[in-house]
Amino acid sequence: MYFAQSKIKFGSLFKPIDIIETTTESLTTLGGPTAGLWDSEKRAIHVALDDFATPEFILMHELVHAIDTLCETTETAEAKADLFGAILLSLIRENKDLIFQLIGQHYAEDSIYK
C-alpha cells in the first residue's frame, strides 16, 4: 500500500472516500487514458502509481473533483465556501497520517513530477 490510509475520512460530515491504488493501464478501461479518476457513484478515487506525476499530486487533483462534487448542492457562493471550509478542516483533522505523508513528500521532492 503506497498511501498511509485506504480511505479519506470526513468525520460525521460525509461518508469516507476510498483510495484505490491502480495503474494507468487499468484506468484506461474505466475512463480513458488518465492518471486518476474520481468515481462519485462509488465514492472512490483511483490513483495510478505508475504515472509521470506523483501519486500525491494525482490524489489531490482527484480530491478537488470530489470536494467540488460534495459542494454541488449548495445554492450560494457563501454557503459553498462554508461547506468547502468544513470539508477541508475535516480532511486535516481526520486524516493526519495521510496529511503527514503529503507534507513529507512535498519537502522530499522539489516538484510534483518524478
Q: Give the pLDDT confidence of 3-13 residue by residue, as tens digits.
A: 999 999 999 98
DSSP state of 113: B
Cell numbers linked to 4: 498511509
Q: Which helix (H) or strand (E) covers residue 7, if one does?
A: strand 7-8
Q: Where exactly are the structural domains of the chain? A: 7-108
Q: Give the pLDDT confidence of 67-98 residue by residue, as tens digits.
A: 999 998 888 999 999 999 999 999 999 999 99
User: What pLDDT is attached to residue 17?
Assistant: 97
Kindly list the strands in the beta sheet with 44-48, ordered across the sheet, starting from the edge strand earlier in the chain. Answer: 7-8, 17-22, 44-48, 36-39
Cβ atoms of 83 and 70 within 8 Å: the answer is: yes
* Residue 8 bridge partners (DSSP): 17
The pTM (predicted TM-score) of the whole model is 0.86
Measured N-to-C along each axis, helices 77-94 and 55-70 cross at an angle, to the nearest 10 degrees, of 140
